[in-house]
Amino acid sequence: MTTDPYEHLDPSVLNAMDDVELMVKSVVNGYLSGIHKSLYQGSGLEFIQYRNYTQGDDLKFIDWKAAARTDKIYTKVFQEETNMDCHILLDCSASMEYGSKSNTNENTISKLQYMKIAASCLTYFIYKQGDKIGCTGFSDDIDHHIDASNKKEHLENILANISNSTAKGKGLSDKIEDFIASSLHNRGIVIMFSDCLHEENRVIDLLKLLSHSNYECILINLFHQDEVDFPFAGSKVFIDSETEDFIVTSPELIKEDYLKEFKTFQENIRSQCIQHKIEPLTISTKLNLGEVFNQYIRFRNGIYK
Amino acid sequence: MNIIFSNPAFLYFIPLITVPFILHLISRDLPSKLFFPAIRFIKVGKIPVNEKRKLRDILLMLARVLIILAIILICSDPSFKKETANINKRAVVIFDTSIAAFHKSYMNKINEKLSEIEINQNQSVLFIESSNHIKSDKTNADINLNSFYNTLQPSQESPNHYDAFVKASEFLNDQKGTIYIVSNFDIHGFEQINKQLFHPETKITFIEIPLSAQNKTLVSALATTSQKNKNNSTRISIKINNNNHSEEKTTVKIFSTKLLDEKEVSLKIGETDVVIFDLEIEAGTPLMVTIPNDDFSPDNNYFLRSPNLATIDILLISDPNSPIESLFFSEALNVSSQNQSQNMNIMNETPKKLFLSNYESLDFIIISGCAYQLNDRQLTNIFKRYKAGAHLILTPGKLFRKNLSKLNEYGLIAQTPIKKIGGEYDITPYFITNIKIDSSWLKIFKKTSNDFLSIPIKQYIKLRSSQSSEVLLEVENHDPFLVINRQNSGISFLFSINLIPAWSDLPITPIFLPLLHQIITVTYSDTHKSQIKAMTPGSSYKLVENEELLVYQGLESSKITSSKDPFIKLTTPGCYYNLSSTLNVNSSRDHSNPDILSKFEFISQVKHNKIKKTIQNSDSIDNKMWANLCYLLLLLFAIETILHGLKPKLNMHTNLEEN
């Protein structure tokens, strides 16, 4: 019998939790307990714990005194000290609203809600790792901007801002790009949540710019499951959330072409990301948060190896 | 080209074509709004597909409309006929100069109606005089409407409408035209014109020459019982009216197998008189009344028959020791028999001499205060007759109690005499106060019911009612005075008094005679309704189920039976019955005018052939092909409806893949 280790990270379940702090703590702590052995371990200053010696461990980390007392060989585990700024960019454009009950008449989680949960959990997760965390939310304009810091009050501020985010406007603009580019100076990681449904390559261009500024960039390309599956039937008037352009058509007739176009779009985003050394992560609102964390950890480990 | 519908009634279904419209409007897929962010991936080039679907839906709806329309048109059987140059230039005028033309005003009325016949000079007109011998003339420079009218001669024969129609059909030759029929339509035929003989758009105008019943000389003829004597007799009452007659004198003759009687009548114009013949003939004898100067025919005959007159046989058993009571009964019955229409055969007997086997048929047995004198055998025979339908009238006698148990055994009386009471006349006489006035026996006393109050009842037998008895009269203390009881088909009437003056004054009051007469006649008529009815010509008779009717037409008789409920009309000679398919006529001889019936059959045959001929000559498509086409369309429609109506999404998807 196999069980999903990230069952408790189902976004639809987390969406029902009102207390954001409680939610992120439960998520992150639960996640961390599940991946205990993969914590960042290194030669930092802060001792964390002992563990049994295993073949291949560095001999310099063996606690010989303890070995003398107990006749067992233990290896010291230290928490790695980092000095990394991590900044989360939140795309709060109107297209992120898709999936809410008012929009689809179905009780599904919207892209915005998913982004809020994922961003909150990731913020806490990063905070727990000891890295500095900052956050910028934008829609028509910059909704909020918090510089990176690792203070607890700072964390609470970020979580509150994330929680209060609303979807509106067309998203990225020159003004927003300029602001973000001028606000981020230190070396660090930029995690951007977006559906990339902006003007052509605006998201890539922004991340490319940040990448050139010594930032390691992760693009979490977020889609609603409906956008992936296109499960509509009957005659529909499709109205663009941002531009309010509309198309009247029968979904059954256009589904095949739509899926083809959508797949091309995703591959295009991915290829551009790889080209510009941006870590792409395409997820749908159906995916649980464990995948997000794993991706982030892989990426984080990749940077420091 | 003109479109002609053989079954235009189907055109009423044309509103059905709105059904696909309504279905289309109901089932059409209204697009729902959806705010969708990834609209950029919806290819613009695919948008017209939806429009194509809409277009397809509309075409589908139109196809359904056309299919329904096609079915309606097929069922209405259209045909196309080419117009010819002279279709409006032909007319036929048919004059009915049959027996009705002998009416004195008939020809003059035809002359008055000539103005209603619209004939143009450009029209080719065929004049037809419809009598036994058809006479026709095509119009030309020498013949016009008035000149043809002047040649008309009344005929004593039936109208020959069949030949007239055939001639008209030949003249019109399947082209449009106008037909004028001038007739009194008193007899069937002209109004039953076979329209299949003519072009469907042929205009047929009926010009009626009204001959009202008031113009008939004979108003009514009625056969009733004669008052002349007590033998079987028939009184024929003939009411005649001199309307527009120049001659004041006419002779009315009555025939059976020979001339029975004749009377000369003198009537001024406008006067009405009743001629009465009293004939000694057997009941049910067919009779013929002839009135030479009748409006219609110098030999016009009316047929009727004498009613079945029967004699009421009454056996009066009276007490020889009480002659006054038997005297009251016998005198009352004799007077009643003489004054009223019913014949009564009254036979007097005394209990000692009574042998019921001497009497073959008895309608009434009156036991007048002497029941106690009858022996058991006599009573048993009386009761047998009573149960077989002879009615009893009893009055109590001195020793009424003697045969009480025997009487009660047979249910003859419903009451048990308890005791003899009653006040003395000079002290407290009783009076009849409660009268069941709605019974058929007492209806005539409605206006004079107060007369019962003037009858002092000095003494009476107190009777006790039973459930099966019916009290007609009661004295003032609610004791029954006259009760009736029924046993099988017999009815018994029991008085609580004797007819001697010591009991009451009833026999000497004016009520007694009508009361006795009512008891006898009403009871008799209720149980002996005549199955033979006298009918006058022109009257109608409604046959009840399985009834058999003998109809005398002249001296010939026809037997008509009905299986259901046909309605027949007895008509004057020269006409025929209004036959229907449910009527079976078993005639001793053929109908008085059998040619007419055979010709009608011939018309039906011609009609059938004519239709076939028309179809063969027309340009319309063969009916079988229409039917096959219709079935094919219906099949396609059903399949299409199932696929598109019940599973639209699946079908659309399938079509998409096919495309």
Query: For residues B375 and B383, what is the distance between their CA atoms, to the nearest angstrom?
Result: 12
**CA B379, CA B398: separation in Å to the nearest integer?**
17
Cβ pair A98:B36 closer than 8 A = yes
Interface test with A, best of B30, B41, B56, B656 (most A CBs within 10 A): B41
- CA contacts within 13 A on the Cβ side of A25: 7
A contacts of B652 (beta carbons < 8 Å) = 250, 252-253
| Facing residue for A235 by CB, picked from B29, B43, B653 | B29
**CA-based nearest distance A246→chain B, Å:** 8
Contacting residues of A for B649, CB less than 8 Å apart: 233, 252
What pLDDT does B591 receive?
Answer: 32
Q: Are B42 and A247 inside 8 Å of each other by CB?
A: yes
Residues A176, A283 within the same domain: yes
Angle at A15 between CA A9 and CA A18, to 5 degrees: 115
Which positions ≥6 away from B98 have C-beta within 8 Å?
A: B130, B131, B155, B157, B158, B159, B160, B187, B574
Q: Does B38 touch chain A (CB under 8 A)?
A: yes
Number of domains in chain A: 2
Residue A28 lies in a domain: no
pLDDT score, position B609? 30
C-beta of residue B537 within 8 angstroms of C-beta of residue B577 = no
Query: Concatenated DSSP letters for B138-168?
Result: E--SS--HHHHHHT----SSPP-HHHHHHHH
* Residues of chain B with confidence (pLDDT) below 70: 1-2, 29, 44-53, 80-88, 98-104, 131-143, 155-161, 185-196, 211-233, 243-247, 282-284, 293-310, 336-343, 398-429, 446-449, 464-465, 525-631, 638-659
The beta-carbon neighbor of A98 closest among B31, B37, B652 is: B37
Q: How far apart are CA A297 and CA B6, in angstroms?
A: 89
Q: Per the domain annotation, does A29 fall within a domain?
A: no
In terms of domains, do A52 and A119 share one? Answer: no
pLDDT tens-digit readout, A47-93: 778 888 888 888 888 888 888 998 888 888 776 555 678 899 999 98
| CA quadruple B226, B229, B231, B234: dihedral, nearest 10 | -20
On whether both A128 and A101 belong to a single domain, the answer is yes
Asked whether residue A229 is assigned to any structural domain, the reply reads yes
Does B624 contact chain A (CB < 8 Å)? Answer: no
Do A46 and A130 belong to one domain?
A: no
Please tell me whether residues A154 and A205 are part of one structural domain.
yes
Q: Does residue A159 share a domain with residue A69?
A: no
User: Along the 305 residues of chain A, how does pLDDT read in single tens digits?
Assistant: 444 555 555 666 666 566 666 677 667 666 665 544 444 455 455 677 888 888 888 888 888 888 899 888 888 877 655 567 889 999 998 888 888 766 665 667 888 888 888 888 888 888 877 778 899 999 888 988 998 888 888 888 888 898 888 888 888 888 888 888 888 877 788 889 988 887 767 888 888 888 887 788 888 888 888 888 888 877 788 888 777 788 877 788 788 888 988 888 888 888 988 888 888 888 888 877 777 777 777 776 665 44
End-to-end CA distance of chain A: 35
Chain B hits for A98, Cβ within 8 Å:
35-37
| Nearest residue in A to B46, CA atom | A254
Tell me: the pLDDT tens digits for B300-314? 666 666 665 557 888
Contacts of A261 in chain B (CB under 8 A): 41-43
- Rounded to 10 degrees, the C-alpha dihedral B120/B122/B124/B130 comes to 10
Residue of B nearest to A239 (CA): B35
Would you call B42 and A248 a contact, using CB atoms and an 8 Å cutoff?
no
Cα–chain center distance at B405: 51
Distance from CA of B66 to the nearest CA of A (A): 27
A236–B42 CB contact, under 8 Å: no
Task: Find the CATH number of the domain harbouring A117.
Answer: 3.40.50.410
Q: Are residues A62 and A93 in the same domain?
A: no
Q: Which one, of B52, B563, B419, B466, lies nearest residue A253 by Cα?
A: B52
Asked whether the beta carbons of residue B53 and residue A253 sit closer than 8 angstroms, the reply is yes
Question: Which secondary-structure segment (H or E) carries B65?
Answer: helix B47-75
Specify if A184 maps to a domain: yes
Residue of A242, A252, A262 with shortest CB distance to B41 = A262
Q: Look at A249 and B49 and tell me if their CB atoms are within 8 Å.
A: yes
- Coil/strand/helix, residue A190: strand
B37–A contact, CB cutoff 8 A = yes
Tell me the count of A-B CB pairs closer than 8 A. 101
> A230: distance to nearest CA of chain B, Å?
10
Q: Which residues of A touch B53 (CB under 8 A)?
A: 250, 253
B44 Cβ under 8 Å from any chain A Cβ: yes
In a domain, residue A210? The reply is yes
| A233, A241, A253 ranked by CB distance to B35: nearest | A241
Interface with chain B: mutation pick from A196, A235, A265, highest number of B CBs within 10 Å: A235
With H, G, I as helix, E, B as strand and everything else as coil, classify residue B553: strand
B90-96 and B480-487 strand pairing: unpaired
pLDDT, mean over chain A: 79
Residue B208 three-state SS: strand
- Distance, CA of A105 to CA of A256 (rounded, Å): 24
The single residue listed with the structure tokens 């900052």 is A134
Cβ atoms within 10 Å, residue B615 = 14
Alpha carbon separation from B258 to B255, B287, B550, B610 (Å, rounded): 5, 10, 21, 49
Interface of A with B (CB under 8 A): 94-98, 103-104, 195, 197, 223-224, 227, 232-242, 245-250, 252-254, 257-258, 261-262, 265
Q: Specify whether A98 is located in the same domain as A161.
A: yes
Does A4 fall in a domain?
no
Q: Which pairs count as long-range contacts for B403-408, CB under 8 Å and 24+ apart, including other chains?
A: B403/B371, B403/B372, B403/B374, B403/B379, B406/B376, B406/B379, B407/B371, B407/B379
Q: Which of A100, A201, A242, A253 has the most B C-beta neighbours within 10 Å, making it the best mutation to test the interface with B? A: A253
Contact A197 B53 (CB under 8 A): no
Domain extent at residue A161:
11-23+84-300
What is the model's pLDDT at position A137?
92
Query: Which residues of chain A have a CB within 8 Å of the CB of B48?
Result: none
Specify the pLDDT at position B341: 53
Clarify whether residues A198 and A285 are in a common domain: yes
H/E segment holding residue B51: helix B47-75
> Do both A162 and A228 map to the same domain?
yes
Identify from B39, B53, B56 which residue to disrupt to test chain A contact, counting A C-beta atoms within 10 A and taking the largest count: B39
B30, B32, B33, B34, best to mutate vs chain A, most A CBs in 10 Å: B34
Query: What CA–CA distance (Å, rounded) separates A192 from A177?
Result: 13
Alpha helices by DSSP H, B471-591: 512-527
* Interface subset of B 48-87, CB within 8 angstroms of A: 49-50, 53
Mind telling me how many Å the CA of A152 is from chain B's nearest CA?
Answer: 36
Question: Quick check: is A215 in a domain?
Answer: yes
Q: Is residue B652 within 8 angstroms of chain A, CB to CB? A: yes
**Strands, E assignment, B336-469:** 343-349, 364-368, 391-395, 420-421, 430-435, 456-457, 460-461
Q: How far apart are CA B275 and CA B221, in angstroms?
A: 9
Single-letter residue type at A162: I
Q: Inspect the interface and report whether the beta carbons of A253 and B50 lie closer than 8 Å.
A: yes
A67/A93 same-domain check:
no
Q: d(Cα B548, Cα A157) in Å, to the nearest integer?
A: 114
Q: How many residues does chain B have?
A: 659
Whether residues A95 and B49 touch (CB distance < 8 A) is answered with no
Residue A157 and residue A89 share a domain: yes
B31, B35, B656 member nearest A235 (Cβ): B31
Buried b (16+ CB within 10 A) or exposed e, A237-265: ebbbbbeeebbebbbbbbbeebeebbeeb
Q: Kindly report the nearest CA distance between residue B37 and chain A, in angstroms.
A: 5
Model confidence, pTM: 0.39
Residue A283 lies in a domain: yes
The answer to whether B250 and B264 are in contact (CB under 8 A) is: yes
pLDDT recorded at residue A119? 87
Q: Which residue pairs from B578-587 have beta carbons closer than 8 angstroms and sit at least 24 positions apart in sequence?
A: B578/B188, B584/B560, B585/B558, B585/B559, B585/B560, B586/B558, B586/B559, B586/B560, B586/B561, B587/B556, B587/B557, B587/B558, B587/B559
